[in-house]
């Protein structure tokens, strides 16, 4: 999957995966964190019409998920 990774502060990195017009994943981690390491906070944004639903991986905002696994995680 293609995605964009950019720095949002001197210590944080943001990963963005726009799967299509209705689904986007956002990931935040410390700068330098590998995408294969369980140190990411991942949010899924699902859009239906004009309504966007924001959900966190595992249902929480902890930095304990693997960015590479974003599509197969459970969100709530």
Per-residue pLDDT of the chain (76 residues; tens, 9 = 90+): 578 888 888 999 999 999 999 999 999 999 999 999 999 999 999 999 999 999 999 999 999 999 999 999 999 9
How confident is the model at residue 5, as a pLDDT?
83
Lookup: tokens for 55? 């959900």
How confident is the model at residue 1, as a pLDDT?
57
What residues form DSSP beta bridges with 23?
Answer: 20, 46
How confident is the model at residue 9, as a pLDDT?
86
CA distances from 6 to 47, 51, 71 (A): 23, 26, 20
């Amino acid at each position: 999957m293609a995605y964009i990774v950019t720095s949002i502060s001197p210590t944080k990195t943001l990963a963005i995966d726009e799967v299509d017009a209705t689904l986007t994943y956002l990931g935040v981690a410390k700068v330098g964190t590998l995408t294969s390491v369980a140190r990411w906070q991942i949010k899924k944004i699902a859009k239906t019409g004009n309504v966007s639903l924001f959900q966190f991986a595992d249902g929480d905002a902890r930095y304990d998920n693997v960015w590479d696994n974003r599509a197969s995680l459970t969100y709530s």
